[in-house]
Amino acid sequence: MGDTLNLMLLSGDYAKIHAAAMVTLVASSLGQPVNVFVSMEALPAFHQDASEREAVVKGPIGQMIAETASPDYVGLFREAKEMGDVHLYACSLVADMKHWELSQLVPIFDDMMGIAGFLGQVSGGTSLTF
């Protein structure tokens, strides 16, 4: 396929997080490299502690997805990484504010970095924000 796809996942809305995971999986299945930066309200959705994940907002569609979709967004990101050239990065600013280590997040992240590091690393390609 074409250029690298760069996603910035910022929303704590379940439907948006799931949509970003689906876009990542489809792009990966088509052979497109994908970089995903997870920050702001989206990062708690990837914590290993279920009580932290409860902060994820589920509107009507998000609730339906959470109840019926299999795999969930973490599973979709895992599949995408297994399928192709996909890299996920956790935001170091949010992690620092929450006093989290990379080891406390679900084990799908390649690294933790700031937005400047992410943008410097992924110049070029198509960028989308969720």
Q: What is the pLDDT of residue 53?
A: 86
Across 18-32, b (16+ Cβ under 10 Å) vs e yields bbbbbbbbebbeeeb
CATH no. for residue 32? 3.40.1260.10
pLDDT in tens, the chain (130 residues): 569 999 999 999 999 999 999 999 999 999 999 999 999 999 999 999 988 888 889 999 999 998 997 899 999 999 999 999 999 999 999 999 999 999 999 999 999 999 999 999 887 889 999 9
Q: Structurally, how many domains does the chain consist of?
A: 1
Angle between helices 73-83 and 14-29 (to 10 degrees): 20
Distance CA 110, CA 7 (A): 15
Distances (CA, A) of 49 to 18, 37, 84: 19, 20, 28
Q: What is the pLDDT of residue 23?
A: 98
Q: What is the pLDDT of residue 76?
A: 97
The phi and psi torsions of 128 (rounded to 5 degrees) equal -130, 150
Q: What is the pLDDT of residue 124?
A: 82
Q: Is-contact 8 128, C-beta < 8 A? A: yes
Q: What is the pLDDT of residue 55?
A: 80
Q: Domain residues for 79?
A: 5-129
Distance CA 104, CA 116 (A): 23
